[in-house]
Structure 1
């Protein structure tokens, strides 16, 4: 019972921090705000996590797993091999149009953390390399896995351009280019 409560408190902290990090940024989110909005006392937060960066790492791990699962599920909606790759872009088209979409959380974070935040950078790279591997695995049945990096760059570029323009056209354009590359 004690472990369940401990895990529940830990998850409440991560859930609160995740929402705040995503909506207002890591740098703009303070420990005191996480404490206030999660409803835990300071000593409990520091029992669960030694530092704000530790909370960020858990957020990245959980968010990365959720993103990977969502992308794989999206790919499964494709009717054929090419359709599976393009279905990932369809997922992105839907995602960027959501009311509470503030950009890719990993790209948002990489732009605001210091260059010496090595473990954070490595975790973000791990997640992004997972996306590259997903594209490679989707392209492999077509014998086009060598295009994985190009498709990945289109995917990431679409996310950045969407953030800049706050329009869906960058993702549409990236999907069209991806379709031409794999045809």
Structure 2
């Protein structure tokens, strides 16, 4: 930790854990690695988070905020409801091309811990439901049927998984093209 880093311990710990979890997975990262990455002494780490589970949940909430801000920024400049829906896939394309992309942190964490941690499973499900509601709002603005929202959200989720597994960002463009067909068909 540099002498000029005045961010609160909790913030530094969450950001450090997020970087480590993203790069190596949740289960392979111990609290000592988070301490070393953040520069926060172990005693203060445990004062901020009484357990690794608490830290994992804080990272998921942090990721939710980052996701929501990214989606909102991507859709804000679109001038029509249709463009706002398609901007979701443009956001995915940009994210998939970033150096740190390792797939959806929610899906990855659910895969590691969802079967053993009800809190993680609930947090991931809540984030996915929130995204589906967001897409449903965009579809409603478009005047499309409710089923379209579920289809478009599923395309976005599938694109995330495909891009991570294949290591190719083109999944976003394929999902966007499929979304255009679905939107046009639903509104015809």
TM more than 0.5: yes
Residue in structure 1 matched with residue 74 of structure 2 by the alignment: 74
Question: RMSD across aligned C-alpha pairs, in angstroms?
Answer: 1.7
Residue 105 of structure 1, CA deviation: 1.0
Contact 2:114 2:121 in 1 (8 A): no
Runs of 4+ in 1 over 6 A off after TM superposition: none
Residue 30 of structure 1, CA deviation: 0.5
Map 1:80-95 onto structure 2 (within 5 A). 80-95=80-95
Q: Indicate the larger mover: 153-162 or 33-42.
A: 33-42
Contact 1:97 1:168 in 2 (8 A): yes
Structure 1: give runs of 5+ residues left out of the alignment. none
**CA gap 1:131/1:145 in 2 versus in 1, 3 angstroms:** farther
Residue in structure 2 matched with residue 48 of structure 1 by the alignment: 48
Residue 114 of structure 1, CA deviation: 4.5
Residue in structure 1 matched with residue 35 of structure 2 by the alignment: 35
Contact 1:135 1:145 in 2 (8 A): no
What is the alpha-carbon distance in structure 2 between the residues aligned to residue 113 and residue 16 of structure 1? 19
Contact 2:16 2:38 in 1 (8 A): yes
What is the alpha-carbon distance in structure 1 between the residues aligned to residue 27 and residue 137 of structure 2? 36
Contact 1:81 1:142 in 2 (8 A): yes
Contact 2:75 2:85 in 1 (8 A): yes
Contact 2:102 2:164 in 1 (8 A): yes
> 1:50-74 deviations in whole A, cap 9, x for unaligned?
1001011111111101211211221
Structure 2: give runs of 5+ residues left out of the alignment. none
Map 1:146-161 onto structure 2 (within 5 A). 146=146, 147-161=148-162
Contact 1:104 1:159 in 2 (8 A): yes
Contact 1:76 1:84 in 2 (8 A): yes
Residue in structure 1 matched with residue 64 of structure 2 by the alignment: 64
What is the alpha-carbon distance in structure 1 between the residues aligned to residue 126 and residue 143 of structure 2? 25
Kindly tell me the number of residue pairs found equivalent between the two proteins.
179
